[in-house]
Structure 1
């Protein structure tokens, strides 16, 4: 039994789970159970002596269990790892205008480093976003600053017109002023040769805003002293030349004596001349005539010759913003209505008179001077 005790001691002190002997023992467990079934229920240990070797099955199993317990005792305990603390930082959004002035209180976001963030950028009625500096979408270890720069929007334009108050003639091209919202404007009349300013409408100074402003400067000939709208009839006592304006160009066709004409306006000039308007752009001198009652027949035959060519055109009235322009029953005829600036018109005929002026006949038979219509391209 000394040999058996010595063998048990050796088996109990062998603990390596990777040893060849332990692997052999585990591989032999199947044979052990087979032999146990052959021997019946005898629980006594069986000694097999073969070539000087002793097989002690029960002791071998016991030593195997003890070895497993020893392995469990020798396993190191798990090490508890301290969690890494998260770093918090902030992102500050600044909203500045073109002069580095704040237009809104800054927005501040706080979060952990590495986390993603999102922000809804504000919108402003008077400004648009022009640049972003140092933009980011993640929190970093250090605080961040994001600058959003905004520029003022453009205000609606200021339109400046220069008109002959007596004829409605445009004396100068339209001036269009524009600038940023809130910027000031100050408008002055243009110097136009042979004319003087007598009146104006619209505010000549102010600030650009979200409205279109119209300013009209009205001019009158320097040598026109008085201008009076009138309505009466005269009979010509002699032949009269017809002019395109007072002291202007003589038209090809004049008026014979004894013709009764209707007068629409009278102009007295600084050189002691007097002129009478007989319709449209036709004028006669106020001499060699006398007042008359209205005639019962046609007053005056057409002064100028015209040619009419059918067309199919479309256009827009281009006069003065918010103002109306007269339309006539015929070239140089009587006013029968008015059209507002910006109105759409349909043109069915182009009329050219022997003075080289162009008129348009509209769809409703009315006539308008071509200078005040912008034809569609």
Structure 2
């Protein structure tokens, strides 16, 4: 479609008016600058005024009134020029570098500006500088500023698969959004890598990602996490870990303990974990029992008369590892029912002696061995 030109339209209109007045009405052609009334024909006026005496007007000639009327009815020249205007649109990143070619908008002063804000992957609009809703100046510049979307960090964790403790502080890997990454497992003395959980390779995203490397001590050859029971036939000292330091804790003679994990080290020694950092070494005074076998024995003891359970109303305090929780059971060596913090004051309501093991019932909690209680 051809562009609209107001000046050409005005010129065509003046030309049509000039033609009409000059041919049809035998009048003088119009000027392209002004538009006014046509002058009467002199010959015709002479014929019509032969017998008419010219009357002298006071303060002027006979044509004075006509001239004044002509000047009064003559309109001012028309001005219909539209001023063109141009806007340059720039698309800039944080370093003021162009993300794409600039756009050029054309129009006329006063005309509405139709700004198309472009979108770029990994960027968002942070500011529009020099924006105007209408064309104002002959030349103008609009700057659309963009900022890159930030990617979230990838967490790298290294843990002991058996003890579940961190081997080092978490490491944070950073990069630009949607750029690729590839992680390398860290190395630790006396540990070997067992497995990795999480996306070890991928792309940085707007959400956090987690990768956990699991290690096992090189000294640990075999690990069995089956729940069993350990019967102790003599007093045995506890240690912090296999080949670890001796603890100030001794297992009583003829007592039964739950084993959460059994570990055989590379030197062939078998170790039993009684929970947390409490371990005992296998010896001639330890006897490993299957849990099912013992629970059957316990079940039989539950069917005896109530006289075997002594009712109590005694106060005591949990005596376990500082900062840790001890586990209570629904029956002696039964299912877990609750956990209580070390040092918590409790009320005991019953006592049972099962195969030399002293069990106490903690009110509203469960059964607990006497070794984990401190009486006032």
Contact 2:235/2:251 (<8 A) preserved: yes
> Paired residue for 1:205?
201
Q: Deviations over 1:235-279 (max 9, x none)?
A: 224322112322223221111333233322211112332211123
Distance, in Å, in 1 between the alignment partners of 2:321 and 2:280 is 24
Q: Do the aligned partners of residues 227 and 306 (structure 1) sit closer, same or farther apart at CA in structure 2, a change above 3 Å counting?
A: closer
TM normalised by structure 2 equals 0.56
Distance, in Å, in 2 between the alignment partners of 1:125 and 1:69 is 84
Q: Which runs of 5 or more structure 1 residues have no equivalent in the other structure?
A: 1-61, 310-326, 339-347, 354-363, 367-377
Q: Do the aligned partners of residues 260 and 141 (structure 1) sit closer, same or farther apart at CA in structure 2, a change above 3 Å counting?
A: closer
Correspondence 1:290 to 2:283: no
Correspondence 1:70 to 2:63: yes
RMSD: 4.3
Q: Do the aligned partners of residues 260 and 349 (structure 1) sit closer, same or farther apart at CA in structure 2, a change above 3 Å counting?
A: closer
Q: Do the aligned partners of residues 68 and 161 (structure 1) sit closer, same or farther apart at CA in structure 2, a change above 3 Å counting?
A: farther
Distance, in Å, in 1 between the alignment partners of 2:335 and 2:157 is 23
Correspondence 1:240 to 2:248: no
Correspondence 1:180 to 2:176: yes
Correspondence 1:162 to 2:176: no
Greater Rg by CA:
1
Contact 2:337/2:365 (<8 A) preserved: no
> Paired residue for 1:329?
327
Correspondence 1:81 to 2:77: yes
CA drift at 1:131 = 5.2
Q: Deviations over 1:29-84 (max 9, x none)?
A: xxxxxxxxxxxxxxxxxxxxxxxxxxxxxxxxx64479485322333644753525
Contact 1:235/1:260 (<8 A) preserved: yes
Q: Do the aligned partners of residues 226 and 185 (structure 1) sit closer, same or farther apart at CA in structure 2, a change above 3 Å counting?
A: same
SS for the counterpart of 2:170 is: strand
Counting only pairs closer than 5 Å after superposition, residues 312-323 of structure 1 correspond to structure 2 as none
Contact 2:91/2:145 (<8 A) preserved: yes
> Paired residue for 1:316?
none
TM normalised by structure 1 equals 0.56
Distance, in Å, in 1 between the alignment partners of 2:322 and 2:169 is 29
Distance, in Å, in 2 between the alignment partners of 1:119 and 1:209 is 31
Contact 1:228/1:266 (<8 A) preserved: yes
Count of residue pairs brought into register by the alignment: 263
CA drift at 1:228 = 1.6
Contact 1:128/1:153 (<8 A) preserved: yes
